[in-house]
A and B are shown apart, each in its own frame.
Chain A
């Protein structure tokens, strides 16, 4: 991808302005911090519109899965946040299609189309997890400098909030979540919070995170140079399922008390993983120490995931700034002459 061209040290990467940003909540209807935050932002936006304030970037607030929100469930028919693959968005659709498949196409029309020049510049999709993960930005790329600089900015502005950058190594052809619809995108995942509950500390962290992200976008668009640096990126390696009964497929163990709530603390070979209902300890049999996350996330029982494991890497992030208007025109002309 264009963002990953190797850059000379000290060079400032120029990227197009982010003129359209989407903040999405309620993609899972029971992840309430995002639901309440987007509702509040929609209310505030009404007030701002009345005052006729000019925003250099337009920010769209979207409640992604209203039907699931109404029932306070993760989804109605199928997980909306798996419905954004190119295949699902563009394939045939029947009248009896699951609600979320119809909805994903509506969202793609609103915020995309995915992969096209008309797509919004940045999607920030708000989520909560029952896992003790603090604040995480989850992205498909480990070299999208926009996302990485937003992360660095949040780290600087919110030093008391434990914060990590998670990289799902999935190609853009196979990317499946709402944040993949924008030219840039990430999920902002905050926990621990039970589904169906809003905890004020979690809500406040999400509200601050979104505010700082939007502040960064304004700074970026107004020409600020963001200095080079480093980010510790957690790249997913694999998932581990619960031990299950071979006949009923029901789980036969829980996350071990020594692992519960210890997301991002290194798991070594032979460390305790699960505790069976008869009290036996099952241990991690991998060869290398890895970082666990999404430990005991409620929604992942049905997806066969007890925890995910990641490797940590120190990623160099170059300095960046927004393209000037002149640079943007030169870019477009260059593109046009290539076509000729």
Chain B
């Protein structure tokens, strides 16, 4: 049952990019993008211009997360307008370059959609990362993907938190989509993780093709997990970590963590319990890259978002 007046209109999503290697040791995205740069037939769709792109080639070459600074935190307004060219940290230079090619961020010339491919050591399965609860185009896409892969699951993480939100590579686009698949160690390529990411992208591109053909997507609801806060490891006076994620919590991404549940285990065997006031859903549990960012896991709460019907303008 469609209604022309209540459908939100979006421009045709003609320019789409797929980013791999934003973190040079997250191998699924690096491998997929390299594959598609060589032979892009798998990612071609009618009326869509899909560009696969390695965002951090130096980090990829060294198989490291970043060279000077985390590229996926580098797209701040300050960095994007910074002067100094060759003196700037490598990733800041890269951010400016990416903003030139795929942006400018916030302008009408920016790419329509950017998929940014990531892996995590956390047991998150397939996760889509949303940056705005009002992006109905993205919500409809995520709803489409979830239905397409059912009974396999793909959860949606919403990071709209004013302080915890960060300036990602994909934020250059009008519709940024993060794709995080785990668990996979850094520097390792696991076939099941690789295939899962590939399948998600296939459905995402199918959605875009359908949308561009004029299909109307009726209003829908999407369950999301909204980021609340970051929880650090317990540390001593010198800042050294003194406890590990508790075995009960390890690998328990997306499962309820209740007040009083075990959370950390000190190196000498003492259990520390979750002291929050209510049940939360933890994720990014024990992600390798977050030790230095002071994050053992993030807490989320479950929410149902409504997306209006959408169709091409």
Q: Assess the A254–B267 pair: CB atoms within 8 A.
A: no
Interface residues of A in 134-171 (CB under 8 A from B): none
- Name the residue among B186, B191, B244, B250 with the largest chain A CB count within 10 angstroms: B191
* Interface residue? A275 (CB, 8 A): yes
* Interface residue? B194 (CB, 8 A): yes
Interface residues of B in 50-74 (CB under 8 A from A): 63-64
Q: Assess the A277–B190 pair: CB atoms within 8 A.
A: no
* Interface residue? A12 (CB, 8 A): no
* Interface residue? A256 (CB, 8 A): yes
How many Å from the CB of B26 to the closest CB on chain A?
Answer: 12
Give the complex CA separation of A302 and B187 in angstroms: 10
Give the complex CA separation of A257 and B288 in angstroms: 24
How many Å from the CB of B176 to the closest CB on chain A?
Answer: 26
- Name the residue among A73, A130, A194, A203 with the largest chain B CB count within 10 angstroms: A194
- Name the residue among B187, B245, B268, B292 with the largest chain A CB count within 10 angstroms: B187
Q: How many residues belonging to A are interface residues under a CB distance threshold of 8 Å?
A: 33
Give the complex CA separation of A121 and B158 in angstroms: 56
* Interface residue? A188 (CB, 8 A): no
Q: Assess the A200–B289 pair: CB atoms within 8 A.
A: no
How many Å from the CB of B307 to the closest CB on chain A?
Answer: 34
How many Å from the CB of B129 to the closest CB on chain A?
Answer: 20
* Interface residue? A46 (CB, 8 A): no
Check A194/B121 contact, CB under 8 A, given A40-B267, A199-B250: yes
Residues of A close to B252: CB separation below 8 A = none
Chain B: interface residue count, which band? 20 to 34
Instruction: Choose among A251, A256, A275, A301 the residue that contacts B187 (Cβ–Cβ < 8 A).
Output: A301
Check A194/B250 contact, CB under 8 A, given A36-B267, A72-B292, A254-B194: no
* Interface residue? B276 (CB, 8 A): no
Give the complex CA separation of A198 and B291 in angstroms: 10
Q: A72-B292, A195-B186, A200-B250 are in contact. List 14 more A-B contacts (CB 8 A).
A: A130-B185, A192-B185, A194-B186, A197-B288, A197-B291, A200-B265, A204-B247, A260-B190, A260-B191, A296-B188, A296-B190, A298-B185, A301-B63, A301-B187
Listed in ascending order, the chain A residues whose CB lies under 8 Å from chain B are 36-37, 39-40, 72-73, 130, 192, 194-201, 203-204, 207, 250-251, 254-257, 260, 275, 277, 296, 298-299, 301-302
Question: Could you show 28 A-B contacts with beta carbons less than 8 Å apart?
Answer: A39-B240, A40-B267, A130-B185, A130-B187, A194-B121, A195-B187, A195-B288, A196-B121, A196-B288, A196-B291, A197-B185, A197-B287, A199-B286, A200-B246, A200-B247, A200-B250, A201-B247, A204-B247, A250-B34, A260-B191, A260-B192, A275-B191, A277-B35, A296-B188, A296-B189, A298-B185, A298-B186, A301-B187
- Give 5 closest A-B pairs by Cβ, nearest first: A194-B185, A196-B288, A298-B187, A254-B191, A130-B185
Listed in ascending order, the chain B residues whose CB lies under 8 Å from chain A are 31, 34-35, 63-64, 121, 183-192, 194, 240-241, 244-247, 250, 265, 267-268, 286-289, 291-292
